[in-house]
Amino acid sequence: MSLLSERAHESSRIAQRFAHLKKNKRSALVTFITANDPTPDMFRQILEGLPSAGSDIIEIGIPFSDPMADGPAIQASIQRALKHNTKIKDVLAAVKDFRETEQDTPVVLMGYYNPIYHYGPQEFAQEASSAGVDGVIVVDLPPEEAEELDVHLRANHIQMIFLTSPTSTDERLPAILANARGFIYHVAIAGITGTKLADERLVKDAMKRLRQHTLLPIAVGFGIKTPEQARAIAAHSDAVVVGSAIVDVIAQGTDVDGKPDPTLSVKVLDFVKSMATGVHGVWP
């Protein structure tokens, strides 16, 4: 890592958040919701409530019609979001509004490459940066293809977060980690989101292997559904990502026409609080 990018890293919201958590000997809870799921208003209500419910880092999904790495829960959430014709500019507008009242919690956008490519990688990076986005995860941009977007993200001080998986070999890890910034997102299972349960023992082994290759914080996601499980995974990692389980609460509180129960945000945030209790009690 060059001196310049190291400085950018240290001064970033993501780095500050992890430094603060480290001082308090706490793991981070990373929460995922899809933009405009189930409606633009309810999404914004949930988003605004996440920091005080205990979410340390917020991931917002950019909807895409063909989410190949996602299981049924997130597929359904994307379908609900697309009913509102959700576009990248809507996602960025929501982040910008969120930033008016919340300056400390990092926001990471997660999605697939086509909507970003179609929007224009440079425009996307510039506008995301001015909206207050801190990191970007693109599921179908492995390091081999990432440069065409990352060059613009770097220029706009957005951290590109790369994924590692149980199939990532030791030979591959240096290539993945070479350009990684912010944190590493370790996919705990070989599979799609929200299906198999993460295996604590395998996660522990993976952390050992990853830490030989990187000093960045490591978040673990895919297959973490309960506070107990979150606590177990948090004991080995720097952060725990919860997505499908939150999205399931949204699905349960939304009727077939896509209309949410008026108390849905309270239910979602209560669930986030319960997950935060699981994660925050421990430190690796």
Partner 1 sequence: MALAENRNTYRAGVDENGHFGLFGGRYVAETLMPLILSLEKAYNAAKDDPKFKAELAYLHTHYAGRPSPLYFAEHLTQHFGGAKIYLKREDLNHTGSHKINNCLGQILVARRMGKTRIIAETGAGSHGVATATVCARFGMQCVVYMGAKDMERQKPNVFRMRLLGAEVRPVEKGSGTLKDALNEALRDWVANVDNTYYLIGTVAGPHPYPTMVRDFQLIIGEETRRQLHEAEGRLPDSLIAAVGGGSNAIGLFHPFLDDLSVKIYGVEAAGKGVNSGEHAASIGGGSPGVLHGNRTYLLQDDGGQIQDAHSISAGLDYPGVGPEHAWLHFQGRVAYVPVTDDEALKAFELCSRLEGIIPALESAHALAYLETLAPNLPKDHLTVVNLSGRGDKDVVTVADAMGAKL
Catalytic residues: 59, 70
Would you count residue 29 as binding partner 1 (CB under 8 A)?
A: no
Expressed in angstroms, the distance from the first to the final Cα of the chain is 25
Residue 128 CA: distances (Å) to CA of 46, 57, 89, 96, 159: 20, 16, 9, 9, 11
Greatest CA separation found in the chain? 53
Would you count residue 139 as binding partner 1 (CB under 8 A)?
A: yes
Which is nearest to 42 in space by CA: 198, 235, 261?
261
Would you count residue 190 as binding partner 1 (CB under 8 A)?
A: yes
Whichever of 9 and 84 has its CB closer to partner 1, that residue is 84
Would you count residue 18 as binding partner 1 (CB under 8 A)?
A: no
Q: Which of 169, 212, 228, 257 binds partner 1 (CB under 8 A)?
A: 169
Q: Which of 48, 97, 140, 200 binds partner 1 (CB under 8 A)?
A: 140
Query: What region does 136 belong to: left with phi over 0, alpha with psi -120 to 50, or beta?
Result: beta
Least spacing, CB of residue 279 vs partner 1, in Å: 24
Would you count residue 125 as binding partner 1 (CB under 8 A)?
A: no
Would you count residue 84 as binding partner 1 (CB under 8 A)?
A: no
Cβ 95 vs Cβ 132: under 8 Å? yes
Give the bridge partners for 277, in sequence order.
Answer: none
> Using CB under 8 A as the criterion, which residues of the chain lie in contact with partner 1 when the complex forms?
63-69, 71, 75, 82, 85-88, 112-119, 139-142, 144-145, 162-169, 172, 176, 187, 190-192, 195-196
